[in-house]
Amino acid sequence: MSSLPHESPEGLRRYMDRRAFLAALSATAWPLRARSQETAPVIGFLRNTDAASSEPLVSAFRQGLASMGYVEGNNLTIEYRWADNHEERLPALAADLAGRGVSLIAAGGGSVVALAAKAATRTIPVVFELGGDPVRLGLVPSLNRPEGNLTGVALFSNGVGAKRIGMLCELVPKAKAIGLLIDPGNPNAASEIQQAESASHSLGVRIVVLEAHAGSDIAAAFAQLRHSGAGALAVMATPLFVSQRDRLVELAARDAVAAIYPFPSFAKAGGLMSYGDDLADAFRQLGIYVARILKGAKPSELPVIRPTKFALVINRTTANALGIVIPPALLALADEVIE
């Protein structure tokens, strides 16, 4: 039988040298991995609602990041800050993220979140998601040339209020009044009321404005709706109502109210009808823009995204439960009908 290499003095020396080399290589491998994780970018995620209700949107945000090669917990760290529907907390939360020196702040939750992030820093990139006009809000000087440290996704959901009122009139032609549920703390509330009232004049209906400053106000708003004699309800696009989606759908079903909502998730959760942007897709695009900036793009080089596709989703199961027959013309316009 042949002898093993290390049975001779020379073989033993080579064997020990090889063992020492492998041990040294193993000892350096973990510190290298650790340093790689330590140098992964840290970004802030700021939102005015709570973590639980935002989970589907955060999931879409992570999908956008992953499509560009960034995976949370692997080569990216995300510091989350939730205002839990207390918007007065946003300035302090934004300042905290800026003070920690994050690489970027993702402000996903409407204009109030974007404005808080803008006030907190002039140097850290901020990528926002909101409904309304960011130029009018003073966030950017131009959609095509943001110039400063902000850019993002600006939805049209608060610009189609008149269209929603018209759809409700088609759905409930006997309605003499239509309720409009708004969040008066949202900067787009006045514009939403103006659009609805403008549409109401030509449609021959009256608008009943219902206010909810917080989730705890929604039940009282529905009580006011019942007493007003309104035959249908339009819900404004605002993060507050997104966080209260299930409650709104539940109360509309309880009171047999024909309601139209701003995002598809409402109809898919049992709401009668929705018309507006796909909010989940907006958060996916938010993640993509964040990744592009992490890869070296400047916010000033990235035009504000304005999605141009609106989805009409009708829940025929809910319509049947309410005893409502969807007009064929409205069904023909639907992008999705839930049976």
DSSP class per residue in 166-225: HHHHHHSTT-SEEEEEE-TTSTTHHHHHHHHHHHHHHHT-EEEEEE-SSGGGHHHHHHHH
Instruction: Report the pLDDT value the prediction gives residue 66, as an integer from 0 to 100.
Output: 98
pTM to 2 decimal places: 0.78
What is the arrangement of strands in the sheet containing 177-182, beginning at the earlier edge strand?
A: 206-211, 177-182, 232-235, 258-261, 273-276, 311-315, 336-338
CATH number of 158-276+310-338: 3.40.50.2300
User: Which listed CATH number (3.40.50.2300, 1.10.3080.10, 3.40.50.300, 2.60.40.10) goes with 39-156+279-301?
Assistant: 3.40.50.2300
- Worst-scoring range by mean pLDDT, 184-188, 262-266, 311-315? 184-188
274's enclosing H/E stretch is strand 273-276
Residues of CATH 3.40.50.2300 domain(s) within the chain?
A: 39-156+279-301, 158-276+310-338
Tell me the residue type at 117.
Answer: A
- Check if the beta carbon of residue 218 is closer than 8 Å to that of residue 247: yes
pLDDT tens by residue, 79-134: 999 999 899 999 999 999 999 999 999 999 889 999 999 999 999 999 999 988 89
* Beta strands 311-315 and 273-276, pairing class: antiparallel
- Check if the beta carbon of residue 191 is closer than 8 Å to that of residue 132: yes
Q: How far apart are alpha carbons 295 and 282 in whole angstroms?
A: 20
- Check if the beta carbon of residue 290 is closer than 8 Å to that of residue 64: yes
Q: What is the mean pLDDT of residues 288-294?
A: 98
